[in-house]
Structure 1
Amino acid sequence: MQASAPKFNIVIIGQNNRLQYEALLFAASLHHSSPDFDGRLFVAVPQAGPRWPRDPSLHDEDLLKALRQLDAEILPFENRVFGASYPYGNKIEALMALPEGEPFVFFDSDTLITGDLNSVPFDFDRPSASLRVEGTWPKPTLYGPGLHGIWEALYHKFGLDFDSSQDTTQPVDYWRRYLYFNAGFFFYSCPRKFGERFLDFARAIRDDEIPELAGQNLNPWLDQAALPLVIHSFGGGRDALPCGLLDGTVSCHYRLFPLLYARESDHVVEVLETVAAPNRVKKVLKAYDPIKKLVLQRKGHKIRDMFDRDNLPKREQAIRNQIRNKGLWMR
């Protein structure tokens, strides 16, 4: 008899900007596409404090009501290290507010659940993250070390075994040789342990003198520089999940609505438009122009008609430029 899948929690970030609308769509898509999910969905909300010049927390009563109706729980947390200077740090600091010792999956808010999450065979003792990624960091400078030297310095700084992290089928100094993830999703057995180490590593990379990082841009790449080190330190890696489920049939990290309409499958568009349609959701989403115009008023289909999903431009910038030329770019 096959053992039942472990129960786990989900956490996304909600903030008083576009993320609040994305969080509502995430909750609605989870409710729609994975109705048997029996864990808790937390919408982690940064609280006002000295690291925010403006209050980032949620105040829209209709939004909060709609989230509650979709069984989402608001989880306040404080930014003690990052905040407005590095909003991507929310995904690190929010982990400390989650229930200790309970397995979790973090998703970026600009994600839709498009299939049954219970079909994903998570091994929460072997963490991993999204492999829908390009070699965006680091960018070796003319006189500095190459990729190999930069990653080697980071592994050694934190006392980690560098050799075992490498995919030796790939050539030295080619980015795919080295562990590198998109932080659009990640998971582990305990959010506190993962969050504390993630915070320690990210803060050290940002603040300490690491000669090999001279000339490297860490904004916005700090989380993606630290994440592979955290995952490797807990015994995880690139092969911890089967391909084709997350960032595939079960979830879609769309990032921006114009890109969703240009690139994603008919099923993703159908899920988006279905979950945005109920009045309790639609009346909240209308306040955000990209959703109002592209999704609710169906102008996204004008973008969709511009592209052949089987033959998309190789560079994302080319997709963006085509959409801009038609006056349909919104974010």
Structure 2
Amino acid sequence: MRCNILIVAQKGRLTHEAALFAATLRHSAPSWAGRLIVAEPQPGPRWPDDPRIPAGPQRDLLEELGAEITPFETCHFGSSYPQGNKIEALAAMPEGPFVFFDTDTVITSELADLEIDFTRPAASMKREGTWPEIEIYGPGYNAIWGALHARRGGRLEDTLDLSWPDEHWRRYLYFNAGWFFGADPAAFHRAFRDAALMVRDDPPEEILCQTLDPWLDQVALPLAIHELGGGRPGGAGGIADGVFDGSHSYHYRFMPLMYATAPDHVIAAVTAATAPNRIKKVLKDHEPFKRFLYQPKGAKARALFDRDDLPRKEQAIRNRLKREGLWVR
């Protein structure tokens, strides 16, 4: 597999997470030959502070690990909706197949061995039924998703997973935006941007009572993927299910959750990637990394849970970690 990888970073937590992502990528996928683009939003009217990655050890480590720190302009989102960075950063990508990952992700296996049909985009299924929230008197899922797809020229019936019953949220095309891929970043950017702006600025009446923050990117993403001829991994999407968010990557979001819930192969890959002194001396400056990667909190969090029998609700995991003094963001 040959492709480029896109992550987005700016000053603060995302800079540290980008360094960890790059370290795990280079350790776990040494044969991968694409370009790692670390997209960096630029100062402007949509950012009250300068969002760029500051000079220092984290930026130096990223460049040492082969990351290309690439600027992009914020035209539509910015600090009011930072999740929009992943939409606008696509405009800065070079031509060719790409995979986007949220920065709070680690790579755990060799990417060069994968077979992906980039002409059939797909995205993460590691999601819950967070949107829409159905009111007792409607409209329901059929009406909401039907109206949205129709506005983008799509057909709801072409997106349904018929193994789930009518009006069950899993029946409808809905992704987590933690990863997605496509063959043409410019085309993906246009489809994703236009869908997001339609949902935000000119929505169909069926969603006027729905909350869009922070769900806007996850509402727009299935519209873009369907428009570009893709779908669910393992179905219409051109990748086997369980590759990303499974055998080859892990979207951890917070260090305590990773140690509490991740499979053993994830922890082994992260431990090996972060062991070299040149990596350690940079990552340990970030408090969550210091406590969980290099101090005993990771092992303590891991000992609290059986990965084969985790609580059904993530909130229960968070609550127990907090009670044990093991929650840090």
2:266 equivalent in structure 1: 268
1:109 equivalent in structure 2: 103
1:256 equivalent in structure 2: 254
1:277 equivalent in structure 2: 275
Structure 1 residue corresponding to 2:150, chosen from 152, 156, 168: 156
Matched, 1:33 2:18: no
2:80 equivalent in structure 1: 85
1:297 equivalent in structure 2: 295
1:72 equivalent in structure 2: 67
Shift of 1:209: 4.0
C-alpha distance in structure 2 between counterparts of 1:263 and 1:119, whole Å: 26
2:130 equivalent in structure 1: 136
Structure 2 residue corresponding to 1:198, chosen from 187, 192, 204: 192
1:225 equivalent in structure 2: 219
**Which segments of 5 or more consecutive residues in structure 2 lack a partner in the other structure?**
none
CA RMSD between the two structures: 1.2
Q: Kindly provide the CA deviation profile for residues 35-68 of structure 1, in whole angstroms up to 9, marking residues without a partner as x.
A: 0000100111111111111111101321121111
SS in 1 for 2:173: coil
Shift of 1:251: 0.7
Shift of 1:119: 2.4
TM superposition score normalised by structure 2: 0.96
C-alpha distance in structure 2 between counterparts of 1:88 and 1:302, whole Å: 32
Shift of 1:202: 0.1
SS in 1 for 2:79: coil
C-alpha distance in structure 1 between counterparts of 2:51 and 2:135, whole Å: 36
- 1:159-198 superposed matches below 5 A: 159-198=153-192
C-alpha distance in structure 2 between counterparts of 1:93 and 1:283, whole Å: 32
1:245 equivalent in structure 2: 243
Matched, 1:315 2:279: no
TM superposition score normalised by structure 1: 0.95
Shift of 1:245: 1.5
State the identity as a percent. Answer: 52
Q: Kindly provide the CA deviation profile for residues 282-302 of structure 1, in whole angstroms up to 9, marking residues without a partner as x.
A: 222222111111111131111
Matched, 1:49 2:44: yes
8 Å Cα contact 2:28/2:273 also seen in 1 = no
Structure 2 residue corresponding to 1:121, chosen from 115, 120, 131: 115
Give 1:133's aligned amino acid.
R
1:147 equivalent in structure 2: 141
1:61 equivalent in structure 2: 56
C-alpha distance in structure 2 between counterparts of 1:209 and 1:60, whole Å: 41
Equivalenced residue count is: 325
C-alpha distance in structure 2 between counterparts of 1:115 and 1:153, whole Å: 40
When residues 128 and 52 of structure 1 are mapped into structure 2, their CA distance, relative to the original with a 3 A threshold, is: same
8 Å Cα contact 2:105/2:251 also seen in 1 = yes
**Which segments of 5 or more consecutive residues in structure 1 lack a partner in the other structure?**
none
C-alpha distance in structure 2 between counterparts of 1:260 and 1:165, whole Å: 32
C-alpha distance in structure 1 between counterparts of 2:226 and 2:179, whole Å: 16
C-alpha distance in structure 2 between counterparts of 1:29 and 1:16, whole Å: 20
8 Å Cα contact 2:146/2:156 also seen in 1 = yes
8 Å Cα contact 1:139/1:147 also seen in 2 = no
Deviates more, 1:63-72 or 1:274-283: 274-283
8 Å Cα contact 1:141/1:215 also seen in 2 = no
Structure 2 residue corresponding to 1:9, chosen from 1, 4, 13: 4
Q: Kindly provide the CA deviation profile for residues 110-165 of structure 1, in whole angstroms up to 9, marking residues without a partner as x.
A: 11110011222110111001111221111112333011110011011112122111
8 Å Cα contact 1:95/1:191 also seen in 2 = yes
SS in 2 for 1:37: coil
8 Å Cα contact 1:273/1:296 also seen in 2 = no
